[in-house]
Structure 1
Amino acid sequence: MDPHTPTGDWPAPTAPGPLDSTVLVPGSKSLTNRYAVLAALATDASRITRPLVSRDTTLMIDALRSLGTQVIEEEVDDEPSWLIEPLALRGPARIDCGLAGTVMRFLPPVAALADGEVSFDGDPHARNRPMAPVLGALRDLGVELRTEGAEALPFTVVANGSVRGGTVLIDASGSSQFVSALLLAGARFEQGITVVHDGKPLPSLPHIAMTVEVLRDSGVVVDDLDANTWRVEPSEVCPVEVEVEPDLSNAAPFLSAALVAGGSVRVPGWPQFTTQAGDAIRDILDAMGADVSLDRDGLTVSGDGQISAVDLDLHDVGELTPVVAALAALADSPSQLRGIAHLRGHETDRLAALTAELNGLGGKVTETDDGLRIDPAPLHEGVFHTYGDHRMVMAAAVLGLRVPGVVVEDVATVGKTLPTFTRLWGQMLGRRD
């Protein structure tokens, strides 16, 4: 946790006027944890520069260490840098997943390559997050597992050092992470792996594209030409030396601030091409009335305080929903957010949480089968509960720019992906405290 991050309740600051700010957003959580997993499976040491340092990524590094991987955390030119030395994967080991979906889902296939038992558990709410597709696939591949009844945390992987691999049929409609988890370890399986999705449309397809890209960066052959089918050939995993892109989803609340408060906010280092789902915030903010400009120096969003209503399918970018919902609550007419039923299985039931908290401040939000209808209404002061969900903190901060007296409960939960959030938020607003 950043030493400047407050704990407990946090009064969200209102905007002092139009903004003119530059925000340096730390590295992508999704990329950081994917690179870390592949580095632990590689043939030699890898260097990851500008990784995100947060609760989720720390849990990942600690988990890999518990499996025998050596991780040296350094600073190079005042930026975080990790040197990851792959060693023989081993048990016994105990892995704390916290609330990190990337840890609880990406690491069981990796643990199956270890020699010995590896137990998994996490925060109380993590035990409610779906795990059955990954666990079922591992059983189909001959991996022995012990659970306590439900196909969820806690469980134990009883590993013998190898996985035969082959073809698995799964329903990954609850999370794209189920596919990514199997692909990331698949090159080390004896026969590689072919993952076939059979179910409702997959959410967050850009995250699977991200997984395929980092695998190819590591020299792994991936065939993704057929819809809902991915084939990873058995091979060595090459070490990498990479610099992690800024986390574009974590940039969303800062860029949204320009729409709420007026003025401009810039995020340097925005990639011209990326597989990060958060890149969609550019088109979303444009649709909501912002002026959006991307050049080689980064992304700039400008606004005049007016927010247009939208009708959006956020199926592939569900992680942006809390911030977009906050903007919609401040818009000029009703908005519809669709395609996000899967958010009921995230860190919390995000649809229910957003409905309860926005309505608690005077909003008019109706939960639908697959999303939210948001009718703007005058909002008032009050406590915005966060349910241990980092994205709820970000949504509340956006509301607080315009609504005086919004108090964010348990603001430290934002440390899951952005421990420096409150400090960066204050700097954006020109505050010195």
Structure 2
Amino acid sequence: MPSPDWTSPAADGPVDATIDLPGSKSLTNRFLVLAARAGGVSRLRSPLRSRDTLLMADALRSLGVEVDDVDGEDWLVTPSDAMGEAAVDCGLAGTVMRFVPPLAALAQGPVRFDGDPHARTRPMGPALSALRTLGVDIDDDGRGALPFIVRGTGSVRGGAVTLDASASSQFISALLLSAPHYDAGVTIHHEGKPVPSQPHIDMTVEALRDAGADVDDTEANTWRVEPGQLNSLDVQIEPDLSNAAPFLAAALVTGGRVRIASWPQHTTQAGDEIRDILDEMGADVSLARDGLTVSAVDGFSGVDVDLHDASELTPVVAALAALAEGPTLIRGVAHIRGHETDRLAALARELGALGALVTETEDGLHIRPRPLSPTTFHTYADHRMVMAGAVIGLAVPGVVVEDVGTVAKTLPTFTDLWAGMLGRAAAQGRIA
């Protein structure tokens, strides 16, 4: 059921704020899957609690894994090697619909997967075909999409598989995360256009190695994981750097300064690319031990940027582009047409309705700023579209962001954090 609309608050001056963001969705869900079959109890410190991560925790619980809350701070994950019949609600979470089926193949009995209506349009064919090649019985009535049933037999043969992951790097990460538990491990070879969001695969490989897995990624487009028992984990979840993007963008839009606390010195998160993008647009960007600070310097310019490896930044960068001095070309993101919505079409439609001149290209957007007028900014059940609308609303009073609650997919406290950044009272009603 859609949530209330939200009038995005306009800035009445330069912001000057420090933001403490919750943990990374991508890291939280990867560590949850690894902990589900580890050799002991794992502790995830400061995990993100959002719709996507709660769906992942519930998916694991349905399979027999214990995920226990510790004082609202950490999660303790007690693994299960006797997973059974289950039903998994994927919501609109790509990580759930793609990461859990390879794990469910190790269950004894059928595991049924379904999700939100739009989730049924998200591509799953390459992932399901790859699992069949590795010996998994799947019933999807030939759709290559939700809903489907994974008929687990308690073990998976494993081996070598070739797939086209050009639609989503999650197809590769999904297989890698469960590969140590397959009888012969897994060797994955990607064949097709370049894999999008390569940093997310790097993140998966690093997380596997943290758990003691033997992973060989020395050959281009090929990943080999040896079979073996994973170690239990005790990990601190980094702040979500993609969720930081709209707050950092606010520094440029308002001519102010924003610091994100605890920004990691080293990370595999694709959202780290926002530092270079904002620097190229004209911001003063400084990374120190206590966090990342972005300050505005006399306006900001458009940019020519390839976001192939950090495509989740596209909505916020596009919103900035509509307010910049000069045109912007965003390239390399054709694959985001298959995300929560067709993000290229959605951004072109909504920014165009505000007054910007936006042209869809084969793999991106060409944005030429013009004077903007307030209207309703439709979000298409996409959390990143909410963030883009909020950035626009800083400079265009009266912008109404439709269905603001959809941002709970990755950041339930978004409107409260946004209000706090602007020095306002907390937004009415925390997003649930």
2:257 aligns with 264
- Indicate conservation of the 8 Å contact 1:261/1:305, yes or no: no
1:405 aligns with 398
2:186 aligns with 193
Q: CA deviation at 1:414?
A: 0.1
CA distance in 2, matches of 1:314, 1:138: 29
Q: CA deviation at 1:87?
A: 1.6
Does residue 376 in structure 1 map to residue 372 in structure 2?
A: no
CA distance in 1, matches of 2:194, 2:19: 35
- Indicate conservation of the 8 Å contact 2:3/2:403, yes or no: yes
* 1:126-141 alignment, distance < 5 Å: 126-141=119-134
Q: CA deviation at 1:304?
A: 4.0
- Indicate conservation of the 8 Å contact 2:187/2:225, yes or no: yes
* 1:219-368 alignment, distance < 5 Å: 219-304=212-297, 306-368=299-361
CA distance in 1, matches of 2:298, 2:222: 45
TM-score, with length taken from structure 2: 0.97
1:416 aligns with 409
CA distance in 2, matches of 1:187, 1:162: 12
User: Aligned residues, how many?
Assistant: 425
CA distance in 2, matches of 1:396, 1:245: 25
Q: CA deviation at 1:113?
A: 0.6
CA distance in 2, matches of 1:374, 1:282: 21
- Indicate conservation of the 8 Å contact 1:49/1:242, yes or no: yes
- Indicate conservation of the 8 Å contact 2:37/2:81, yes or no: no
2:79 aligns with 86
Q: CA deviation at 1:54?
A: 0.1
1:34 aligns with 30
SS of corresponding position for 2:17: strand
Q: Deviations over 1:303-325 (max 9, x none)?
A: 04612110000000000000000
Does residue 121 in structure 1 map to residue 111 in structure 2?
A: no
Quick one: percent identity of the two aligned structures? 65
1:45 aligns with 41
SS of corresponding position for 1:72: strand
1:165 aligns with 158
TM-score, with length taken from structure 1: 0.97
Specify the code of the residue in structure 1 equivalent to 2:31. Answer: Y
Q: CA deviation at 1:215?
A: 0.1
Q: CA deviation at 1:19?
A: 1.2
- 1:95/1:237 Cα in 2 relative to 1: closer, same or farther (>3 Å)? same
Give structure 2 stretches of 5+ with no counterpart: 427-432
Q: Deviations over 1:64-123 (max 9, x none)?
A: 000000111122xxx620000002342320000000000000011000011110000000
- Indicate conservation of the 8 Å contact 1:89/1:111, yes or no: no
CA distance in 2, matches of 1:80, 1:312: 37
- Indicate conservation of the 8 Å contact 2:46/2:237, yes or no: yes
Does residue 396 in structure 1 map to residue 389 in structure 2?
A: yes
2:67 aligns with 71
Q: Deviations over 1:317-352 (max 9, x none)?
A: 000000000000001111100000000000000000
CA distance in 1, matches of 2:388, 2:297: 20
SS of corresponding position for 1:133: helix
Q: Deviations over 1:271-298 (max 9, x none)?
A: 0000000000000000011100000000
CA distance in 1, matches of 2:282, 2:367: 17
Does residue 156 in structure 1 map to residue 149 in structure 2?
A: yes
RMSD: 0.9
CA distance in 2, matches of 1:215, 1:426: 38
- Indicate conservation of the 8 Å contact 2:37/2:79, yes or no: yes
State the 4+ residue runs in structure 1 displaced beyond 2 angstroms.
88-91
2:429 aligns with none
